[in-house]
Amino acid sequence: MAPCLPTDGLKILMEPSLYATCHCIAGPGCSSVAYGAAQELGPFLVRSYGTNLTRNAYAWNKAVNLLFLEAPVGVGFSYTNRTSDLRRLGDRVTAQDSYSFLLGWLDKFPEFKGRDFYIAGESYAGHYVPQLAELIYDGNKAASRDRAISIKGFMIGNAVLNDATDQLGMVEYAWSHAIISDELYSAVRRECDSFKEEADGGRPGKGCSPALRAFLGAYDDIDIYSIYTPTCLLPNNVSSAGRPAARLVAAPRLLSKHEEWHRLMKRVPAGYDPCTEAYVTNYFNRGDVQRALHANRTRLPYPYSPCSEVIRKWNDSPATVLPILKKLMAAGLRVWVYSGDTDGRVPVTSTRYSINTMGLRRRQRAAASAGGVGGAAEWGGWRAWYYRQQVAGWAVEYEEGLTLVTVRGAGHQVPLFAPDRSLAMLYHFLRGQALPAARSSG
């Protein structure tokens, strides 16, 4: 079973013929075409209630040939003739189908064989991307030269990486940004036993479920994916209660073993910019658009949705993908993890906690700071990076091959909120260059 995938060839400040990049999106069940291509980093973005397209001055096709991957089957316009396929979905099937598709795609377009290959994605692609990269890496060991994929690295944004620290960081972020009270913060930490796995001695109390419900309720009237921007109040995007409409997406056990958490996270409100998701929904449901894309020729019995409503079961989702990151870094792959720092769903606190559990060695760069208080080298390598003479975020590099980057003021979809800086970040990632550490080089 391989998903039916729409593709789009893209190109950034260097020769695109040198690179091929596969882009996976969040989810599970959300479309890389609807979000990545049409809202964030494609050459044309959907605007104005889905009536037209706007050229994207900061499209990632200025740097790479970009393939948007709709996975698993059931996402976007992809479909299967067997309903049983939809009941066997999970991380493993998604990775295997994506790998099979890439091999077939490269056979169909052999001019891309042998080029440096990278994978990028965001949110739950923190699972998809490393798992696909691992399959490619392992598959290359037994593959003929003609079948090997020249994978060099991957980058993942606001990525789901490690259940316990992802969940803990989400609560820490809400408290530190004054979204929840001291009392609720203390109750969640205490009753949910700091989200430790049962295997590690975690014992959530009876008060965990009501505390989690109150915690998630704090985001009812704001956008959890971008806490400082307005929510979309278009009539068809608002619930009867006047709150942003909830996105009902099948969610695996993405964050530890707390069943109430998983049930509630299926109804986290959607937002974005704030109405781009509504625009995209309207656009891809247009008959003329579907005909132009050669999509939906089978006349699917449901309307197009950016996040699939036919995926209702997710069979496997490992508690952590950090061992995969370690394995691939040891194999020499370049790994960048970036984080928009106004995202409350997979916040920068979660990412920092997750990476810290890996026990990596921070790269110490000599950097003096003003005032004689010590530089980045003295304080763990954490430093600002610059774009157009302004602080664009912060970064830290690790000897094992991982770079952590924050993007200041960006939400969950970094290229949507900070298109210019996301393009600059991609440029440096592809070149294997450190981000600018001074205003003069930004």
Please list the active-site residues.
Answer: 123, 343, 412
Distance (Å, rounded) from C-alpha 277 to C-alpha 385? 30
Alpha carbon dihedral 238, 242, 247, 252, in 10-degree steps, equals 180
Q: What residues have CB less than 8 Å from 99, skipping those under 6 apart?
A: 132, 135, 136, 139
Structure tokens at 142: 């037994």
What percent helix, strand, coil does the chain show, rounded to 5? 40, 15, 45
| CA–CA distance, 156 with 414 (Å, rounded to integer) | 11
Provide the 8-state DSSP code for 231: P
Beta-strand ranges (E) seen in 91-169 are 116-122, 151-157
Any bridge partners for residue 391, and if so which? 386
Q: Which amino acid is at 441?
A: S
Read off the DSSP letter of residue 434: P
DSSP letters, 345-403, are: SS-HHHHHHHHHTTTPPBP------GGGS--TTTTTT-EEEEETTEEEEEEEEBTTSEE
The single residue listed with the structure tokens 């091929």 is 20
Rounded CA separation 118/334 (Å): 9
3-state secondary structure of 161: coil
Strand pairing class (116-122; 65-68):
unpaired
d(CA 421, CA 427): 10
